[in-house]
Amino acid sequence: MPRSAIMFDDPSYVVLNIPSPAADVVKDIRHRFDPERAEYPVEVSVSGSNGIGSIIPGQDTENIFDMLDTIAAGLKPFRTSFREIKRFPDSNIFYFTMNNKAEFVKIHSLVASSGIKFTPNKFPYEPHCTICLNSALSDKQCRELMNMKVPDVEFIINTISVYELNSADDGQLLHRCNFGLE
């Protein structure tokens, strides 16, 4: 799809991709507890669920992608890992928090101040990787998730992506850019 044809008609998010084998570990957990979303991209949210919301439709996509390319070009890949499992209050949303939080906060701040317009979000930014959004979990499954051992897998964050989520797929990749500094 040509970049100029992208309109952000459905909610679109800026994320940092988690590579394999860490992504495979998350997908295995999702297959067990949230099979409907098991194949969604495995990532750390930069916009969308907290800090800043989704990309507001109607903006110049070339400009947005150029801004993200510029941000990525100035970033150095970094190592991180999952820290702990948390549950969003009064929900069945479970996620891993991340080690090296300062690196994620820096990237979030760069994206938030880039000039890209995002919907408001009332929740403060916490870098995380969602592992389950299944509202039909039993109490036993919720306890299993909360008591699960956090996977001991280190990985390198080195890309920024934009995904569009709609009900027909598991997230369409609209743009990906690699960090530029080695």
Q: Give the domains, in start order, of the chain with CATH numbers.
A: 3-178 (3.90.1140.10)
What does the pLDDT look like over 89-122, one tens digit per residue?
Answer: 888 899 999 999 999 999 999 999 999 999 999 8
Q: Say what the pLDDT of residue 90 is.
A: 83
**Beta sheet of 159-164, edge-to-edge order:** 43-45, 12-17, 159-164, 172-178
pLDDT of residue 48: 87
Mean pLDDT of the chain, nearest integer:
90
**pLDDT of 167:** 59
Separation of alpha carbons 108 and 129, rounded Å: 14
Residue 110 token pair:
């760069």
Q: Where are the beta strands (DSSP E) in the chain?
A: 12-17, 43-45, 78-87, 94-98, 128-132, 154-157, 159-164, 172-178
pLDDT of residue 6: 57
What pLDDT, on a 0 to 100 scale, did the predictor assign at position 7? 63
Model pTM? 0.90
Please count the CA atoms within 13 angstroms of the CA of 166 that sit on its side-chain side. Answer: 8
Residue ranges of the chain with per-residue pLDDT less than 70:
1-7, 167-170, 181-182
